[in-house]
Structure 1
Amino acid sequence: MGLALRDTQTHCYGDYLTWPDDVRYELIDGIAYVMAPTPDLAHQDIAGEIYLQAANILAGKPCRAFIAPVDVRLPKQDETDEHIDTVVQPDVIVVCDSNKLDRRGIRGAPDWIVEVLSPSTASHDQTKKRALYELHGVCEYWLVHPIDRVVTVYCLIDGEYGKPDIYELRGETQVKVLPDIVIQWDELLERLPVDY
């Protein structure tokens, strides 16, 4: 199931900034996708825990962790912000280049992105966003599957995501491009509802 479109026009970040805040959108190649309604509590718990662990590990270091909603603007070349046609809001983001940070969020590819899959966004995250992050040079992309209790890890090698590694959500999983970050799963999984 794909995400709903705002309309059939193409847009840029200049348009995006004028839209009301009561509905969230992501722009991919000028197409405005309506973000899913507020995620459920388990989704938020997983994203929050990954962010918390990463932020604690990175305290005092050059890399910084962020949690949605934060605009990640992905320019195709050197166009001004208002003309950028791709703006996404990943669940968890780590950026190591402080030159990519400004008052509006992040401009350029983060080093690590995590998306926690929901039934309404899974297809979008696994296809459109995977291709988008690969194209823009996101070094490592995680797809956390709460229902299946696995994480799919894509690493950029020679400009491409090859075959992903898939790990069970148990024990720990190390971020390959940021080896200091090791996400611990067991305590988090004990908190999640059994029917999730």
Structure 2
Amino acid sequence: MSLALKDTVSHCYGDYLTWHDDSRYELIDGAAYLMAPAPDVAHQDVAGEIYFQIRQALKGKSCRAFIAPIDVRLPKYAESDDQIDTVVQPDVLVVCDSDKIDRRGIRGAPDWVVEVLSPSTAGHDQIKKRRLYERHGVREYWLVHPVDRVLTVYRLQGDEYGKPEIYELKGETVVGILPEMVIRWDELAARLPTDY
């Protein structure tokens, strides 16, 4: 299932800021994608646990962790904020360059992005957003599959993501760009529902 488009008009962040309805959107190359309704409990548990572990591990360090919703503006060149046509809200992200952080969120590529897959967003996250994050230089991109209990990891090698690494959600996984950071899965995996 793919996410619904708002319309066929090209939009920018200036437009996005004027939308006052209760729906949330992401912009990718000017196309406004309606975000899925509130995720299920497993999705939120996974995102919250990853954020919690990384936030604790980053205490006293220069990198900062964030959890959705937060706007990540991805300019193509040096355009003004209002003209940026790509704004996403990753589930969890880490930014190590404090100059990218401002009152509106993040401007520029995060260092690490985690998307927790839901049935309604899986294709969007695995294809469209993977290509987007690769193009903008996100150094490491994780896709967590709560139903299958699988983690797919993409790491930037030059200008492209290398072959993905696949892990089970058990034991621990090292964050490649922050090797002192690990995500511990066992307690979280034990909480995940088995009746999908």
Tell me whether the two structures share a fold, i.e. TM-score over 0.5. Answer: yes
**Paired residue for 1:185?**
185
Give 1:69's aligned amino acid: P
Structure 2 regions of 5+ residues with no counterpart? none
Superposition deviation, residue 190 in structure 1: 1.1
Q: Deviations over 1:89-144 (max 9, x none)?
A: 00000000000000000000000000000000000000000000000000000000
Superposition deviation, residue 191 in structure 1: 1.2
- Distance in 2 between the 1:194 and 1:160 partners? 35
* Pairing of 1:20-99 with structure 2 (within 5 A): 20-99=20-99
Superposition deviation, residue 181 in structure 1: 1.3
* 1:36/1:79 CA distance change after superposition, 3 Å: same
Could you tell me the TM-score, scaled by structure 1's length?
Answer: 0.99
* 1:189/1:74 CA distance change after superposition, 3 Å: same
Superposition deviation, residue 54 in structure 1: 0.3
List, as ranges, runs of 4+ consecutive aligned residues in structure 1 with deviation greater than 6 Å. Answer: none
- Distance in 2 between the 1:21 and 1:161 partners? 36
**Paired residue for 1:175?**
175
Superposition deviation, residue 40 in structure 1: 0.4
Could you tell me the TM-score, scaled by structure 2's length?
Answer: 0.99
- Distance in 2 between the 1:140 and 1:21 partners? 33
Aligned identity (percent) is 74
Superposition deviation, residue 193 in structure 1: 1.5
- Contact kept, 8 Å, 2:95 with 2:112, in 1: the verdict is yes
- Distance in 2 between the 1:41 and 1:165 partners? 26
- Contact kept, 8 Å, 2:149 with 2:169, in 1: the verdict is yes
Count of paired positions? 196
Superposition deviation, residue 6 in structure 1: 0.6
Aligned Cα RMSD in Å? 0.7
**Paired residue for 1:113?**
113
Q: Deviations over 1:11-60 (max 9, x none)?
A: 00000000015110000000000000000011000000000000000011
- Contact kept, 8 Å, 2:36 with 2:120, in 1: the verdict is yes
**Paired residue for 1:148?**
148
